[in-house]
Structure 1
Amino acid sequence: MAYYSVLAVTPTSQDWIPDYIGPANALVAKHGGKYLARTDSHQRLEGEGEEAALRIVIEWPSKQAALDFMNEPEYLPHLKARTEGSISHHFLIEGKDDLA
């Protein structure tokens, strides 16, 4: 079953970004992930709250693949840099419809 990482990221520093992109791309692919969206082109249609600079959607082949990526030793320093250099919210969503 597919899972989706949905992130809202607002950088508070740009310093981490150049060193983050390449390794993150490679590690997402290593764990079977596929970026579906990485963009600052988004619009709130409903609700209130803080606006994020970037919206990111990653499709994973399984929950375990997403968790393995997040716990990947090679990723941990990049995760630390991202979370220290941004306001980030990351949700893991199972690709199913409980209301169908």
Structure 2
Amino acid sequence: MNTANPQLEGLYMALAAINRLLVEKQLLTHEEIRETLAEVERAVINDPNAHNVSPSHSKAVAFPIRLLSVANEAAEKGVHPSFEELARHVGQQR
């Protein structure tokens, strides 16, 4: 992550915490979050209106979705990694 984006780091971690809270309060399950994030990632990657978008742009748009997916997987295991750990994992996946 570019160090010029600390606000985005905070936003991603806040969203990950909200997702955990939704599961803890039994409003959603990890599976529902996983399915929703997978659906939105597919929509972003396969957007027919994005034909003029570079692959690096598509990856950048998908990054927060993938990070939240990784955070959801970790939370399901009872682990709460740092932003750096989540970002590294996203980078290794793709």
TM-score normalized with structure 1 length: 0.29
Q: Which one has more relative contact order, counting CA pairs under 8 Å at least 6 apart?
A: 1
TM-score normalized with structure 2 length: 0.30
Select the structure that is richer in helix: 2
